Amino acid sequence: MNNLIIQNIGAIKDIEIELNKINIIMGPQSSGKSTIAKIISYCQWVEKRFLLDGGYEYEFSEQFMEFHRIDENYFSSNSFFKYESDFVSISYTGLDKKEKITKKKRNLDYQKSKNIYIPAERNFVSAIPNLGKFKESNDNIMSFLYDWYDTKKKYSKKKALPILNLGVNYHHIDDNDSDILTINENNKEISLKNASSGLQSIIPLTMLIDYLSNGFYKKKKTNSVNEKEEIKAIIQKTLDDFITKREENTDFSKNDVNKLLDLVGNRTEYHFSSFIIEEPEQNLFPETQRDLVYYLLQNITNSERKHTLTLTTHSPYVLYALNNCMLGYKIKESLPSDIKDELVSRNSWINPDLVSVWEIKEGTVLSIKDSDTGTVRKQYFNKVMNDVMDEYYEMLNYLEV
Amino acid sequence: MRLKISEKLEHHIITNHSDENLYVADYKHYENHYGLEKNEGKVVILNTFQDDWKSVHLSNENQVDICFDGFEDNALPSEAAGIQNSQCECVLFPNNFNANSWILFIETKYSASFENAFRKENNYPHSMTNQIIETVKYLREKDIIPAEKKVHAIVSFPNLAEEFNSYFFQGKEIEILKEHKILIRATNSALIKSEKRITLKSI
């Protein structure tokens, strides 16, 4: 597992977490959820560039502060973050963000990943037409825009994307860059820019999940110049090692050759996607929030690829849905098949050990999973509900009945 | 109100308390555990927190002078022979009671686990709510509480509330308020603000 430490950055005072396959970060507004998600996203990107390009030559201020729209005031002299995977260690310290990136022994086993950050502001791609004409900038919103433009072209009328259980299909018309929704019930078409805010929020999200967890891997991708140069350098070094071995009268084995082939494969092809999604619940009715969670987990867990997912959320409904998926996994052996068939979550069940759920509280994190059941503790839901009920009860004092 | 109770329910013992923190505990529960002297089944009110006792906490930051009536077994006698009225565990109200003062009823259950608390045969929260409704009804009929006065009530699971208390009534609290003029909440604490104001807290 990958380890992340963050100290004194924005609202985060001191956290240390082990990143899991699925990571859920709960917390109120401005508690630091996005700061954690953005640091994870940045570190995953640095790891990829550092290992695939053979070095990291980018500016922190551009690639983190500007890209993720992080204010300079988030940092102080005692700020620190460190990301550690099986392959690298990355850290930044202090106000001047002193950078330290080191390779680990296993770095040659690193597999190239597709990293995608889906920001809370995603609706704008649906709502504003002709976005391609907008001035480019280097931030996660524009990056998301590029991903959206690349991806939506795959969904022609013949390959329309069904949107959860909402009875709506999306397709794109390339000629005039139109985003069209077909209402299944009456076969009527409407433009995405005129659709509800819920659809505008969910369509870019589900489309990217659908494509990047499946279709993306069916197409051959080209590698960047830096990536190719680094692969050449590694092959050169490995061959040099082979020659040295031969000079020492030690033959290189078939196993050595296989390792080299694996290494080339690891670096030239994409192997899995790392999704980071801010507030997937945006503008969605509770039932749709539930279906979206089921959809995300179905795509991510049913793949042979080791996709990962990190979510920030305010919504207890997201946690309720997640709980169903974890509980389903736990009881699946004792569940009669006819009952199982009735459960909407059945294709999204996930081993609770692969899920971490944290609540951010006063700059620190607290796991809110029950150690016995592996699901989210009922105390958490109760606390969330009580926060609303306190005001309700105060007002009931004055209700004349 | 104190006078009315004393007149109409002569055997009731009402005590006064004005400490900043008060703790209502089921003495019977601890009597069994600690071999304490019997006290006729009454709950007790304490002014210090007992580390190993679970209780209902009443925060009384303005040190309002409060009357406490912890009900003994069969505290609400029936005029019909052989019938024992259903009752909750205690009632509290300000000593300087007037038409605008609050009245608080408490019923506690010391279930050790969620599973025990929600066993069908226990019939919680219905049975606990019913004990409070019957107590309030009795005191209204005796004209100790005015017929239309809104009162407050707590159903408490001192061992458990943080797990589920917000889901206890699921909207039925409005029906109870409408039908019985009882503002009821599942919680282990309340905040006494003045002789007129009390807030049932979340846990």
Beta strand residue intervals within A168-240, DSSP E: 168-173, 178-183, 188-191
* Residue A202, pLDDT score: 92
| Residue A57 near residue A64, CB atoms below 8 Å | no
Identity of the residue in A386, A397, A399 whose CB atom sits nearest the CB atom of B203:
A386
Look up residue A345 and give its DSSP letter: G
| Residues ≥6 apart with Cβ < 8 Å to B50 | B23, B25
Chain centroid, CA A304 distance in Å = 17
| CB neighbourhood size of B181 (10 A) | 17
* Residue A186, pLDDT score: 92
Q: CA A12 → CA A20, A41, A81, distances in Å?
A: 20, 16, 11
Note down pLDDT in tens along chain A; length 401 residues.
Answer: 799 999 999 999 999 999 999 999 998 888 999 999 999 999 999 999 999 998 999 999 999 999 999 999 999 999 999 999 999 999 999 999 999 999 998 888 999 999 999 998 887 777 766 666 666 667 788 888 888 988 999 999 999 999 998 999 999 999 988 999 999 999 999 999 899 988 998 999 999 999 999 888 887 778 888 888 888 888 888 888 777 777 776 666 777 778 788 888 888 889 999 999 999 998 898 899 999 999 999 999 988 899 999 999 988 889 989 999 999 999 899 888 888 888 999 999 999 999 999 999 999 999 989 887 888 887 777 777 787 788 888 888 888 77
Is the model's pLDDT at B113 over the cut of 70? no
* Residue B40, pLDDT score: 63
Enumerate residues 282 to 301 of chain A having a beta carbon within 8 A of any beta carbon in chain B.
none
Cβ of A378 within 8 Å of Cβ of B203? The answer is: no
Q: Say how far apart CA A195 and CA A253 lie, in whole Å.
A: 61
Q: What is the ipTM of this complex?
A: 0.75
A395 touches B: beta carbon within 8 Å: no
Instruction: Return the CA Rg of chain A.
Output: 23
Q: What are the b/e assignments for A277-301, b being 16+ CB within 10 Å?
A: bbbbbbebeeebbbbbbbbbbbbbb
Chain centroid, CA A218 distance in Å = 20
Chain centroid, CA A336 distance in Å = 34
Strands of the A364-367 sheet, one edge to the other: A113-118, A272-278, A308-313, A22-26, A355-361, A364-367
Residue identified by tokens 């004990």 is B131
Q: Parallel, antiparallel, or unpaired: how do β-strands A178-183 and A188-191 relate?
A: antiparallel
Whole-prediction pTM: 0.75
Mean pLDDT for all residues in chain B: 86
| Residues ≥6 apart with Cβ < 8 Å to A103 | A50, A51, A87, A88
Cβ of A390 within 8 Å of Cβ of B165? The answer is: no
Cβ of B177 within 8 Å of Cβ of A399? The answer is: yes
Give how far B145 is from chain A: nearest CA, Å.
Answer: 17
Tokens of A164: 């959860």
| Residue A44 near residue A114, CB atoms below 8 Å | no
Q: CA B194 → CA A84, A103, A205, B170, distances in Å?
A: 56, 65, 52, 29
Is the model's pLDDT at B182 over the cut of 80? yes
DSSP-assigned beta bridge partners for residue A91 = A82, A100
Cβ of A397 within 8 Å of Cβ of B183? The answer is: yes
| Residue A350 near residue A293, CB atoms below 8 Å | no
Q: Say how far apart CA A340 and CA A364 lie, in whole Å.
A: 39
Chain A, nearest residue to B180 by Cα: A401
Residue identified by tokens 């260690």 is A89
Band of residue B127 on the pLDDT scale cut at 50, 70, 90? confident
